[in-house]
Amino acid sequence: MLNWDDPLTPAAARQPASALPTNAADAPTGTPTEPPAAAPTLGARPVRAEDKRIVNGMADINQLAPFKYPWAWKYFLNANKNHWTPLDINMAQDVHDYHHKLTVEERHVYENVLAYLTTADILAMRNVAIAVMEKMSAPELQIYQARQAYEEALHTWTYQHCIETIGLDQGEIYNRYRVVPEINAKIRMTQQRLDAVCSADIDLHDREQLHTFLMSYIFFAAVFEGSWFYNGFSPIFALQRRGLMKGTAEQLQYIMRDEVMHASFGIRVAKQLMQEENIRPDPQALRDMWDQAEACETGYASYILRDPILGYSADLHVEQFRYVANRRAAQLGLEEVPFPGAEAALPWLDEQANLRKEKNFFETRVTEYQTGGALSWD
């Protein structure tokens, strides 16, 4: 245990010279020894940008520049211009709304949206921080993903802040993903689809395993973050449009803007990976992924909106999911969209992410990203 009153001289240095081992062979059995530091490579050339790759790169991962993916560095810089915390937003009116204005059906929607989101963002954080980042072989990619993992933790704090402030039973809300089949189905699909990304021993030099990794990453970027999260906040936004739960909705607007950047970044990584490795996702595997995602989202919407609320229904929710999924497929450059003919059932949803929100500076912060115009899906 660290004691600030201890002298600064290490204990080993206070021993007489005769007590110190002179070489590794003299060290006591079981005493760990530090491996020798790698000797400098004389004449080693600096990293070249062309040596970097999304995965399987040959460049030194410890050399940030020169950039091969300057867009990844811009994502990191842009994200850092838009720092926020849930404490920035006044939740007092939400407490009153929940207990005195929301109907039973609206409280059911509110609680279960938070129950799903808080579990899902922990999954996202662990997926990025523990699994995906260490498989990327360019440091500029890893640095943005480190910021992304932080933002997923921030989002989890935000849901917890809302749950605690409203006065909900935290243990019961956090446990719903285990006991509500419709929420559990989305979590189980996520875990199954992300198995390849999370595997520590996956061989990305093997074409079959690389394809499995690609499909897993496409699910994460285009379905989990790009469709489910993007669409997942809309029931709360529907309440906000009627003047209810505006503090929670503003919290989710901040999160939505982060998630838009996460999905955009992930799609760019997936496209770059396909180009560099000359690999494309199997059409049937894509079809199965989209169909399973739609089935999970339909079941989830039918549960949280088993009784429609004013201005919002399960049918609207699912149709909007299909529309957003088509956009993500097009942004990936895929030959076919999964749900031909799907229309924007919630034309106001994009406003939550893209349009400037003018607000009284002394009441709340403006949620528009300073750099929103720089976002690119290409």
Per-residue buried b or exposed e for 145-177, using 16+ beta carbons within 10 Å of the residue's own CB: bebbbebbebbbebbbbbbebbebeeeebbebb
CB atoms near residue 33 (< 10 Å): 8
Query: Is 225 one of the annotated binding-site residues?
Result: yes
| Separation CA 368–CA 94 (nearest Å) | 22
121 marked as binding residue: yes
**In a 10 Å sphere around its CB, with 0-12 CB exposed, 13-18 middle and 19+ buried, how is residue 73 labelled?**
middle
Q: Note the Cα 33 to chain centre separation in Å.
A: 39
Three-class secondary structure of residue 206 per DSSP = coil
Q: Is 358 annotated as a binding residue?
A: no
Contact in structure between 253 and 350 (CB atoms under 8 Å): no
**Residue 205 assigned to a binding site:** no
Q: How far, CA to CA in Å, does 178 sit from each of 171, 182, 198, 229, 295?
A: 12, 10, 21, 19, 18
Measured between alpha carbons, how far is 306 from 312 in angstroms, rounded to an integer? 11
- 159, 174, 177, 300: the catalytic one is 159
217 catalytic per annotation: no
Ligand-binding annotation for 172, yes or no, is no
152 marked as binding residue: yes
The token duo for 328 is 């993500």
Binding-site residues, in ranges, read 121, 152, 155, 225, 259, 262
Binding-site residues for Fe cation, in ranges, read 121, 152, 155, 225, 259, 262
Residue positions annotated with a catalytic role: 159
